[in-house]
Every structure is written in structure tokens, then in C-alpha cells.
Amino acid sequence: LKIRVISGPNLNLLGTREPKVYGTQTLEDIENALRQEARDYGVAIEFFQSNHEGAIIDCIHDAARSGVHGLIINPGAFTHYSYAIRDAIAAVGIPAVEVHLSNVHAREEFRARSVIAPVCMGQISGLGALSYSAALFALVKKLEETRP
């Protein structure tokens, strides 16, 4: 199985970005932990980060061409308004899990709404880096159920 983890805008600043909200781990720290977990599950994993909506869409399209089986996506603020990213996930039909470090349901009202979540298997929010770990765990289980 091959999993691709996509991180959206401003997540390259993790570590120094609003540490009270997002913690002190860098994106590289989170990715390194996930790489180890993926190794333990025996699945391949790859990572992509961009601050640009179009680059994220291209990456989702490329996932289909590259035989990626599952996506973990933290769309950052695009979560709340990018119909284009939503449509890209729907278009490729690759199972996806939406993740957030912070609890988007406990913050400003605009963060509670995700236009992406309806085209995802599920959404995991508020567990910090463990949101990604939980997503990887669930995605691997789900994919193994459907492709033994």
C-alpha cells in the first residue's frame, strides 16, 4: 500500500507558528514519526507540502497517476473554502482522511466548517501530531479491509 500525506498552507511554519495552538513539533518531526509508523505497518509513505492551492490540486491528480492508495490531507485554511481541492479529491476517488492538529470545532466559527470533509472517509481534529497517526492507523486498516 502507498499513502501520500499532503500538508497545506502555513504548515511549513510548524514549530514556530502559534505554538500554543499547533504545538512545538515541526512538520519534519511529524513526518519522521509517521515514516516510522508506516514502516511498522509495512506501507509506503510519501509527503508533500505546499502553500499553493493549485500545487495541492496537482499533487492530488498526480497521486492517482502514481498509484497512491490513500491520502491523508491537512488542507490548512483551504479546509474552509477550497471547493477546488474538494473537487480534486472527488475526481480522483482515492480514499482520503482529513486531519487537523487543532480542534477546529473549538475555535473560531469559520473553522468549524469543512468543505473538504464531505468527500473524505472521515475527519480527525484536535489531537496534535496524533491526528496524523490516528489517520494513518485508520487508513491502513480500511485499505487492508478492501485490498487484502
Catalytic sites, residue numbers: 22, 100
User: Contact between 26 and ligand DQA (CB under 6 A)?
Assistant: no
Residue 102 or 140 with smaller CB distance to ligand DQA: 102
**Segment contacting ligand DQA by CB under 6 A, of 28-36, 41-49, 53-61, 95-103:** 95-103
Question: Which residue, among 21, 28, 17, 33, has the nearest Cα to 101 in the 3D structure?
Answer: 21
Q: How far is the CB of 131 from ligand DQA (least distance, A)?
A: 7
CA distance 23 to 19: 4
Residues with Cβ within 8 Å of residue 117, at least 6 apart in sequence: 79, 98, 123
- Select from 10, 12, 26, 51 the one that contacts ligand DQA (CB under 6 A): 10
Residues 48-67 that bind ligand DQA (CB under 6 A): none
User: Contact between 114 and ligand DQA (CB under 6 A)?
Assistant: no
**Cα-based distances in Å from 17 to 27, 28, 57, 58:** 11, 14, 24, 26
